C-alpha cells in the first residue's frame, strides 16, 4: 500500500480519525489548487481518498468551495476523469451517494452565482459547473440502476409469490 493509504487507514481505537481525515482533506484541497503540478496531483489524490474514507468532508468542501475554486476544479476534474476508480468508494452507501449528490447540486448553484458575477474566475466556474453536472449525472445514473434492480427484484418476488399461491389454490 501507498504511504497515504496507510496514513488514512482505519485504526482501531482511534476515534478521532474522522476529524483527522477532515483536516487532511482541507490541506489537500488547498494544495490541489497550487501551481506545482506534481504537488497538486498528489494533493488531489489524497483529497479523493479522504472523501472516500469520510464523505462528511463534503461539508467542509462546501464551505470553502468558492474560496478555493482552483483546488475544487482540480478535484472535480480528477473525479470525472478517473470516475471508474473512485465511484465505488465514493458511492458505497445510499447516504454517501446522497451527500455527494447534494454537494454537487450546491456547487452548481454556487457556480451559477459565480458566473453571474463575471470576472476573472468565469472560466473556473464554467469548468467546475461542467464537472459538477457530470458527477451528478453519473451519481443519478447509478441510483437509477439500483432502483431498476430493486424494481426487478420486486417483480420477481411478486411473480414467485403468485405462482406459489396459485399452485396452492389448485391443490
pLDDT for position 46? 92
* Number of Cα atoms under 13 Å in the Cβ half of residue 38: 0
In this predicted structure, what is the pLDDT of residue 15?
67
Q: Which of 55, 53, 48, 7 is nearest to 29 (CA)?
A: 48
Instruction: Please give the pLDDT value at position 146.
Output: 46
pLDDT tens sequence across 145-157: 444 444 455 555 5
Specify the pLDDT at position 152: 52
CA distance 50 to 27: 11
**Residue 113 vs residue 11, higher pLDDT:** 113
Q: Model confidence over 22-45: pLDDT tens digits?
A: 899 999 999 999 888 999 999 999
Amino acid at each position: 500500500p501507498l504511504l497515504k493509504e496507510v496514513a488514512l487507514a482505519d485504526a482501531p481505537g482511534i476515534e478521532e480519525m474522522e476529524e483527522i481525515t477532515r483536516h487532511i482533506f482541507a490541506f489537500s484541497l488547498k494544495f490541489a489548487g497550487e501551481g506545482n503540478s506534481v504537488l497538486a496531483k498528489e494533493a488531489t489524490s489524497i483529497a479523493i481518498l479522504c472523501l472516500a474514507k469520510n464523505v462528511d468532508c463534503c461539508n467542509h468542501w462546501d464551505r470553502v468551495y468558492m474560496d478555493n475554486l482552483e483546488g475544487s476544479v482540480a478535484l472535480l476534474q480528477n473525479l470525472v476523469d478517473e470516475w471508474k476508480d473512485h465511484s465505488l468508494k465514493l458511492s458505497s452507501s445510499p447516504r454517501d451517494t446522497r451527500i455527494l449528490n447534494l454537494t454537487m447540486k450546491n456547487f452548481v448553484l454556487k457556480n451559477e452565482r459565480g458566473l453571474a458575477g463575471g470576472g476573472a474566475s468565469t472560466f473556473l466556474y464554467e469548468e467546475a459547473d461542467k464537472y459538477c453536472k457530470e458527477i451528478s449525472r453519473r451519481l443519478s445514473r447509478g441510483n437509477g440502476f439500483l432502483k431498476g434492480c430493486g424494481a426487478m427484484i420486486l417483480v420477481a418476488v411478486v411473480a414467485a409469490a403468485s405462482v406459489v399461491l396459485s399452485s396452492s389454490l389448485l391443490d
